[in-house]
Amino acid sequence: FKTAAELDTGPPEPTPTLDSEDSSQPGDTGSPQKPGEADQSKNWINVFSPADPTHVSTPSDAGADVMKDDTGQFLRIRSGASGSAIAFDVGQGVLEKLVGKHAMFDVVARSEEGKETQISVDCNFGDLGDCGRKRYAVGHERNEYLFDVQFPDKHPGAAGTIAVNSDIDQKGKSVDIYEIRVSIAQ
């Protein structure tokens, strides 16, 4: 026979649940990230904004004009007949933050209406190297064109540039650049 204490005649103990445990999994963040769309939760460092076009170098046969429409402010660039690219400065301070890190660059752009184009992107980061030549097909929908760079662990020594050719086929097509930014990849 069991004693009253051994029979445990009290109310039943609640069943343990997982609610009280700390889970390192993030909660539901909504819909998954779309292809060609950068992660908005990253800490982005601004490289170029049309609000300050002074850090853009345009060869004599190319053009760059700040414009605005219902999608926002942008810089409409047009490469020259020679295929010359428009250069966007990447400040030395920005490069210093990227030393020894894996960085993701994001060029937010679209083509002029009805004129899909192929652009090329080249980088010169001085002592830190380059990004290789990237090619993208750009349509009229505003989109994000991403590329990553692994930076060596050494002092940049100077500023760098990101050069964009708006039309690889050299037919005078334009591209609207909304912004260029970079984040440190996790």
Question: Over the stretch 123-181, which tens digit does the pLDDT of each residue have?
Answer: 999 999 999 999 999 999 999 999 999 999 999 999 999 999 999 999 999 999 999 99
Q: What is the b/e burial string over 143-179, where b = at least 16 CB atoms within 10 angstroms of the residue's CB? A: bbbbbebebeeeebeebbbbbbbbbbeeeebbbbbbb
Q: pLDDT by residue (tens digit) across 30-67?
A: 444 444 444 556 799 999 999 999 999 999 999 999 99
What CA–CA distance (Å, rounded) separates 84 from 127?
Answer: 23
Residue 18 phi, psi dihedral angles, 5° rounding:
-85, -10
Contact between 143 and 175 (Cβ < 8 Å): no
Count of H helices and E strands in the chain?
A: 2, 11
Q: In the prediction, which pLDDT does 42 show?
A: 75
Closest CA to 77 of 63, 66, 88: 63
The Cβ-side half-sphere exposure at 180, using a 13 Å CA radius, reads: 24
* Residue-range domains of the chain with CATH: 43-184 (2.60.120.260)
What CA–CA distance (Å, rounded) separates 90 from 181?
Answer: 10
User: Does 14 have pLDDT greater than 60?
Assistant: no
Q: pLDDT by residue (tens digit) across 66-95?
A: 999 999 999 999 998 888 999 999 999 999
What's the angle, vertex CA 106, arms to CA 97 and CA 46, rounded to 5?
50
Greater model confidence, 135 or 8: 135
Q: In the prediction, which pLDDT does 26 show?
A: 39
